[in-house]
Structure 1
Amino acid sequence: MLLKDKVIFLTGGTEGIGFECAKIYHAAGAKLAIVSNSERSIDEARSTLQSVEVLYLKADVSVAAAIRQAIAKTVDYFGKIDVIHNNAGISNPSKAIHETTADEWDVLFDVNVKSIFNTTRYGIDELKKTHGNILNTSSLVGDMGQEIHAAYSATKGAVNALTKSMALDYAPYGIRVNAVAPAGVWTPMLRAWSQQQPDTNSIENYLDNIHALGYCPEGDVVADACLFLVSDQARFVTGCILPVSGGAELGYRRVLNQTI
């Protein structure tokens, strides 16, 4: 019970990596406030994970007032917050930067980056009380870049920089700040992304091959790493961008070398 009696505020927690995290956090003893902007997604998650120790909140992470209210409801319900896991994110559009519209750019940064600003702004006082921690879901592309995903890669590069800067800012309060950086992970978002790529027929083979371990995993492998980072097992880890990538930073090069 690594997270016994811990209260975790988890955004984007009703599907994909977020829901895998929700399940493993709950199994480890945590109480959860799970945020999603989709009523349908909340209903589907509730059908699998329902408990008096799980509070579902419909809110748009990019809207400050909505997150302020969600934080307040969490504290009213559970009495505290020990962990904020900023997992909510989107990847659209699959375009080069000159093809990306201003609206697409703004939505990407609002969901992937501004959301962290919002949860931290309204949740940091609670974390100071509990000497809690923050976990951000980033991506390997934030460090490596990715073709036809310039705007998305830029948001994840921003998440990485934020993570390190926040780790320095909040260390004096005993608050740790870390990030996980997956490569390919089979989630609803990745499946939708796959259908947007130029060669959809070969995308599964491509995603398997970019990982040095030879396969594209499900979200549970990332959730296991997240469990470690938010728990006291990682009590001396902060400012870390942890790849959970199956060696994809090597695998990309392996695929590239095979095609030359």
Structure 2
Amino acid sequence: MSVEFDFDGDVALVTGVGGALGSAAARAFLEAGATVCGADVVDPESEDFLLEPHERIDFHQGDFTDEADVERVVGDVIDEHGRLDYLLNIAGTWRGGDPVHDTDVDTFDFLFDVNLKTMFLASKHALPHLRETEGAVVSVSARSSLEGGEGDGLYRATKAGVRLLTETIAEENLGTVRANAVLPSVIDTPMNREMMPDSDHSKWVDPADIAAMMLLLCSDASAVTSGAAVPVYGEA
């Protein structure tokens, strides 16, 4: 069954837009008719920037662990487009391999900054504008946030924080802004294929399929859904 969304006239801000999932989300919202503003710390000229240039995607370079940068980017989006309807908190990364007692504090700081602080700051500065449009926030948590696990406990803790902060935002904005999270497992990205070349890639989830769920969670079709953590891990 084919499903189409019409976000014509709406404005979406996608963080981590240069990554595999961020670029998939940008394309999905663009195809649905939204004006897409993408933010990333990575320069578009970098080989790690996966979103191809598009005249209808406004790119804003900024470090979303820096509150001044976040405030500037959100302000620029409002100045240029006059509104903000959707925030897609996709900026994030994975680090692991060591147990807690062998993990240095720099790794702790890095993961909490990139995975949780970016989501907090983007939400903080976007919410006043989302309240005006009765918009939506969709953030990326993780299936692994549901339990502890060996070797990547700090990553799991950051993603659990994203999930719990999502529930808080939903509760604090009942009837005004909907906030939901998606819970992927292994996403089919170039980095994951490089890290796990011998895995069964056919069981991994295509970023485009997760982007489709993000569209649904921002649409009127999920008007009664807020504070949810939605599985998007397929067979992975």
TM over 0.5: yes
Task: Please tell me whether the aligned partners of residues 85 and 130 of structure 2 are also in contact (alpha carbons under 8 angstroms).
Answer: yes
**2:34 corresponds to which residue?**
30
CA distance in 1, matches of 2:164, 2:80: 33
Name which of 158, 162, 167 aligns with 1:164: 167
Percent of residue pairs identical:
27
Task: Please tell me whether the aligned partners of residues 20 and 50 of structure 2 are also in contact (alpha carbons under 8 angstroms).
Answer: no
* Distance apart, 1:6 and its partner CA: 1.1
Residue 134 and residue 41 in structure 1: after superposition, are their counterparts in 2 closer, same or farther (change >3 A)? farther
Name which of 106, 131, 136 aligns with 1:133: 136
* Distance apart, 1:45 and its partner CA: 4.9
Q: Does 1:67 align with 2:70?
A: yes
Residue 136 and residue 240 in structure 1: after superposition, are their counterparts in 2 closer, same or farther (change >3 A)? same
Could you say what secondary structure the match of 1:171 adopts? Answer: coil
Query: Unmatched 5+ residue regions in structure 1?
Result: 195-199, 209-213, 249-260
* Distance apart, 1:94 and its partner CA: 2.8
**2:227 corresponds to which residue?**
239
CA distance in 2, matches of 1:150, 1:184: 16
CA distance in 2, matches of 1:146, 1:88: 22
CA RMSD for the aligned pairs? 1.9
Task: Please tell me whether the aligned partners of residues 9 and 35 of structure 2 are also in contact (alpha carbons under 8 angstroms).
Answer: yes
CA distance in 2, matches of 1:158, 1:3: 29
CA distance in 2, matches of 1:235, 1:41: 38
**2:218 corresponds to which residue?**
230
CA distance in 2, matches of 1:75, 1:41: 27
Residue 42 and residue 125 in structure 1: after superposition, are their counterparts in 2 closer, same or farther (change >3 A)? farther
CA distance in 1, matches of 2:173, 2:11: 19
* Distance apart, 1:188 and its partner CA: 3.5
Q: Which runs of 4+ in 1 moved over 6 A?
A: none
Name which of 77, 81, 84 aligns with 1:81: 84
CA distance in 1, matches of 2:177, 2:197: 45
CA distance in 2, matches of 1:224, 1:163: 19
Instruction: Give the aligned length.
Output: 231
Task: Please tell me whether the aligned partners of residues 170 and 227 of structure 2 are also in contact (alpha carbons under 8 angstroms).
Answer: yes
Task: Please tell me whether the aligned partners of residues 90 and 189 of structure 1 are also in contact (alpha carbons under 8 angstroms).
Answer: no
Normalized per residue, the structure richer in helix is 1
CA distance in 2, matches of 1:135, 1:43: 24
CA distance in 1, matches of 2:171, 2:151: 33
What is the TM-score normalised by the length of structure 1?
0.83
The letter for the 1-side match of 2:131 is: K
**2:9 corresponds to which residue?**
5
What is the TM-score normalised by the length of structure 2?
0.91
* Distance apart, 1:182 and its partner CA: 0.7
Deviations 1:39-87 (A, max 9, x none): 13599556x3412x31101111111000000001111111110011110
Could you say what secondary structure the match of 2:182 adopts? Answer: strand
Give the structure with higher Rg (CA).
1
CA distance in 1, matches of 2:209, 2:116: 24
Task: Please tell me whether the aligned partners of residues 15 and 188 of structure 1 are also in contact (alpha carbons under 8 angstroms).
Answer: no
